[in-house]
Amino acid sequence: MKLRKRNNRTAKDSFFGVVGFACRYYKMPPKSQYWKYFEKINDTSAKCRSCGKILKTAGNTTNLKCHLDKKHPNLMPKYEPMRSTSSSTPITFKEPSVVPSTSTATNVTMEMSESRSDCDSEKSYTDSVKKLFSQPTLSSSFSKISQYGDMGSKGIQLTNSILYMICKDSQPFQIVENEGFLTLMKTARPLYKVPSRFTLKRMLDTKYDIIREHFKGKLQNGVYDLTQSHTAEYIANILLKTCNEWNIKKKKIVAVVTDAGANIVKAIEIAFGRSRHIHCYAHMLNLVAQKSIDKTPNLPDLIAAVKRIVTWFKQCIAASDELRRESDLKLIQDVFTRWNSTFYMMKDF
């Protein structure tokens, strides 16, 4: 019985000895495809089979990939995956080697420096992915929400864009209450609260006042206050003064279009010459129509009578409301400088 136990112990020791030897001197095959082109030296370094260069593995195959892409781009087909199929470091049971010599340490240091320079793009890509999938902080989340508030920069920008769309496309203010528009804004900007039509109306009035004051200032700076009698000589001097302020030479002015006022016509002749003056055709046509009306018998009296009636309806609100209930036609008041307004007044009466 003692001999049998001794034999069993001897067999067991032999079995574990063989397993230990195998785990000690035989490495497990690496999982990444890049290891086909490298010989593993230890857990932290590998040697290129093509050029013999020693690279730091650092627990992954990133440096191996960068070396192949830069030094041996023709070794690996383009359709092969760019990354290792396993993110874990290949397991090996080989004992670590003794501390390397000075020359070996220098070589490894140079390899680490080169591998870092070769893989700058890979590092930037990794940082971009981490930034993309990183969870935002609480302060940044509240800051993003506040940007779409009533006083936030993005909220004000969106509200102004909606108001511009309403004015530019002649849309009703009620469009902001339509279900389709609200669904669109909720899909595009979930954090944005669409303002009501009453808010947009108040904003439009405010913007109108601001723009009106802006153009009033521009008009005040863009016109002259004529302080003297509007004689031809005085008007000519003002026109030449304006041209000098804007550095406009007289020879560059091809034509000046005006009405048939005697002082205006004479001023243009004094300032720029008779050959550059052109009468306004619409003004001349109106003068022809007015003179034709004046020379037609009984027509001026008829036009004057109709004009008095139209003026009375325009000035009396009760009469205008009664006329509106009886007829869909709207009376037109004529303007002396527009002959066609007299025509439409007589036609619709």
Do residue 151 and residue 209 come from a single domain? yes
Whether 203 has a pLDDT exceeding 60, the answer reads yes
Q: Are residues 168 and 235 in the same domain?
A: no
Q: Are residues 217 and 232 in the same domain?
A: no
| Confidence band of 98 (pLDDT split at 50, 70, 90) | very low
Q: Which range, of 29-33, 283-287, 326-330, averages the lowest pLDDT? A: 29-33
Task: Please state, rounded to an integer, the average pLDDT across all residues of the chain.
Answer: 77
Residues 195 and 174 both lie in one domain? yes
From 185, 202, 221, the end of a domain falls on: 221
According to the model, what pLDDT value does residue 142 have? 56
* Cβ-proximal residues to 45 (8 Å cutoff; 6+ apart), any chain: 54, 55, 56, 57, 108, 111
Q: For 156-185, how does the pLDDT look when each residue is reduced to its tens digit (9 = 90+)?
A: 889 999 999 999 999 999 999 999 999 999
Please indicate, yes or no, whether residues 300 and 335 belong to a single structural domain of this protein: yes
184, 248: one domain:
no
Q: Does the residue 310 lie in any domain? A: yes
The domain boundary residue, chosen from 83, 110, 130: 130
301 occurs within a structural domain: yes
The per-residue b/e assignment along 267-282, b for 16 or more CB within 10 angstroms, e otherwise, is bbbbbbeeeebeeeee
Count of domains observed in the chain = 4
Domain, as residue range, for 115: 33-130
Which residue, 96, 130, 164, sits at the end of a domain? 130
In a domain, 274, yes or no: yes
What's the pLDDT score for residue 88?
A: 43
- 284 part of a folded domain: no
- Are 61 and 125 contained in the same domain? yes
Lowest-confidence segment of 8-12, 151-155, 261-265 by average pLDDT: 8-12
For the residues of 241-253, what is the DSSP string, one character each?
HHHHHTT--GGG-
**What is the per-residue pLDDT across 24-67, written as a single tens digit (0 to 9) for each?**
444 455 467 888 888 888 888 889 988 888 888 877 888 888 88
pLDDT-derived band of residue 238, with 50, 70 and 90 as boundaries?
Answer: very high
Let me know whether 95 and 177 are in one domain: no
Q: Which amino acid is present at 115?
A: S
Q: Is residue 99 part of a domain?
A: yes
Q: Does residue 153 form part of some domain?
A: yes
* Alpha-carbon gap, residue 79 to 77, rounded angstroms: 6
Q: For Cα atoms 272, 273, 279, give the angle at the middle one, nearest 5 degrees.
A: 95
Q: Is residue 287 part of a domain?
A: no
User: Is residue 5 situated within a structural domain?
Assistant: no
pTM, two decimals, is: 0.35
My answer on whether 200 and 236 are in the same domain is no
Mean pLDDT of 279-305: 90
Q: 345 versus 76: which is more confidently predicted?
A: 345
